């Protein structure tokens, strides 16, 4: 084959096909590979001009079509399939070629693959891609991590295809090893939290103030034009307008209340516990998806217990409280996720730039929001900021909204409306901003039953007491 293509893509599902077409739209030639001939043909047909976009089911033909060093992206399901694809490519790769895993792989898998391929002279990258199928086609947020020099080969392509925020591409080299996959994992954890919070606000507007779908649409649409401007608030407003094709009324009312998950939120939670970083707004979002899966048990349990009669609230009062509570809890969720990133950066040697990460999340990704511009500025002003709640800018934002959150959480508790995301966000805030917590009693208990020792307020050292009296 005389012509050589700039970029290769293995996996031509919706994400892979859209990403490769995006590459072609931005002036680079691209070649795809998939075992399914229908997907190969669909890409060739949609690409139109095979001198710009082409594809094959044959791995060797695919590799021969690429210019060197080859830049090959994988958009296949995380897990064993990634390893299988790598092994199928290896016999025909040359030293210096670059493989980029664009899926949601667990960060330790990325570290393992990078070390394995480095011994063979092959560069390996984990690059989180956020924005869904539309983002892949029109401009995603891309989070690459790996060898800095190897990134230079793909940098022009990634900067061209990425979403743009005020002209700046939403992609940046994040750090060595699995930095890219790790940042994408925490991005998804934050996403879980924001989605849970949005669903709770929807629930309380409906149950507490009888909002109908048109009112919900208008409310979320108005919020999206203000400080809550974000992709999730925007699509939420649109969801309430969608008519049902299969029945009367709006589609949202016919969707089963069982939320599925692919594991990235759970990974964020588990790893935060390993690091000793509290992320309760993310933890509870994962737990609520698990509770939602117990639909049959929930139906039976609902019959066994009385629920308070909901005291309806004035719409304007409710709307103000709901907007302030959602803004407050969005801030808290971002604060938790970024705290985890900062700690992981030290623990795993990523050397992450939190301000840079907030910048590349401003467009293209699922958690994009106006708030991220303020977050980026806060970390640019103080790169060693331990927590977003310590930023003077955010002190003002939080103090202006926390009282409404207290009222709304209390209202939910009194009326039997579960608000776990809001409650956990508020509790985290109250605990984090308390100079004295009752954990001294826990240390006393631990020392009592297990001689685990304790420290004192009034002097240095480690102490143990014989608590039991003979």
Q: What is the 8-class DSSP label of residue 2? A: -
| Torsion angle of the four alpha carbons 66, 181, 44, 159, in this order, in degrees rounded to the nearest 10 | -70
Rounded Cα distance, 63 and 4, in Å: 10
Task: For the beta carbon of residue 314, count every other beta carbon within 10 angstroms.
Answer: 10
Active-site residue set: 184, 191
Rounded Cα distance, 184 and 104, in Å: 7
266: region left, alpha or beta (phi > 0 left; psi from -120 to 50 alpha): alpha
Q: Check: CB of residue 55 under 8 Å from CB of residue 43.
A: yes
Residue positions in the annotated binding site for substrate? 104, 130-132, 187-188, 192, 262, 289, 446, 452
| Residue 377: partners with Cβ closer than 8 Å, 6 or more residues away | 355, 393
Rounded Cα distance, 32 and 14, in Å: 13
Residue positions in the annotated binding site? 104, 130-132, 187-188, 192, 262, 289, 446, 452
Task: For the beta carbon of residue 84, count every other beta carbon within 10 angstroms.
Answer: 11
Rounded Cα distance, 244 and 137, in Å: 27
Q: 8 forms bridges with which residues in the sheet?
A: 31, 72
Structure tokens belonging to residue 155: 């940098």
Structure tokens belonging to residue 431: 């605990």
Rounded Cα distance, 162 and 138, in Å: 8
């Amino acid at each position: 084959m005389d012509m050589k293509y700039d970029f290769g893509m293995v996996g031509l599902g919706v994400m892979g096909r859209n990403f490769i077409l995006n590459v072609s739209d931005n002036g680079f030639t691209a070649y795809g590979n998939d075992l399914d001939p229908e997907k190969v043909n669909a890409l060739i047909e949609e690409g139109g001009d095979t001198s710009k976009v082409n594809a094959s089911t044959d791995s060797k033909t695919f590799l021969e079509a690429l210019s060197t060093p080859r830049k090959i992206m994988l958009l296949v399901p995380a897990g064993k399939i990634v390893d299988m694809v790598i092994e199928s490519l290896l016999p025909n790769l040359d030293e210096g070629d670059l493989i980029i895993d664009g899926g949601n792989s667990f960060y330790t898998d990325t570290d393992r693959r990078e070390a394995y391929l480095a011994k063979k002279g092959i560069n390996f990258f984990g690059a989180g891609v956020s924005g869904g199928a539309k983002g892949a086609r029109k401009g995603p947020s891309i989070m690459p991590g790996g060898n800095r020099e190897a990134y230079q080969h793909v940098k022009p392509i990634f900067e061209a295809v990425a979403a743009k925020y005020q002209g700046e591409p939403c992609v940046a080299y994040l750090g060595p090893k699995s930095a890219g996959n790790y940042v994408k994992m925490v991005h998804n954890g934050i996403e879980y939290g924001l989605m849970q919070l949005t669903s709770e606000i929807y629930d309380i507007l409906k149950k507490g103030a009888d909002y109908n779908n048109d009112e919900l649409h208008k409310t979320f649409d108005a919020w999206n034009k203000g400080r809550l401007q974000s992709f999730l608030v925007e699509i939420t407003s649109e969801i309430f307008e969608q008519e049902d094709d299969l029945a009367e009324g709006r589609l949202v009312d016919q969707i089963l209340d069982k939320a599925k998950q692919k594991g990235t939120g759970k990974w964020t939670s588990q790893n935060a516990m390993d690091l000793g970083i509290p992320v309760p707004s993310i933890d509870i979002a994962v737990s609520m998806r698990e509770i939602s899966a117990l639909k049959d048990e929930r139906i039976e349990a609902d019959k066994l217990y009385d629920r308070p009669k909901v005291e309806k609230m004035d719409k304007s009062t409710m709307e103000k409280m709901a907007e302030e509570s959602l803004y407050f809890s969005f801030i808290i969720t971002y604060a938790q996720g970024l705290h985890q990133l900062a700690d992981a950066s030290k623990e795993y040697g990523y050397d992450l730039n939190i301000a840079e990460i907030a910048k590349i999340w401003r467009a293209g990704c699922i958690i994009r929001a106006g708030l991220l511009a303020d977050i980026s500025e806060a970390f640019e002003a103080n790169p060693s900021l331990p927590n977003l709640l310590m930023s003077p800018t955010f002190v003002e934002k939080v103090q202006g909204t926390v009282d409404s959150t207290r009222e709304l959480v209390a209202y939910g508790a009194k009326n039997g409306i579960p608000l776990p995301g809001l409650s956990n966000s508020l509790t985290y805030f109250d605990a984090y901003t308390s100079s004295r917590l009752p954990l001294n009693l826990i240390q006393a208990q631990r020392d009592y039953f297990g001689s685990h020792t304790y420290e004192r307020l009034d002097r240095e050292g480690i102490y143990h007491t014989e608590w039991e009296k003979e």
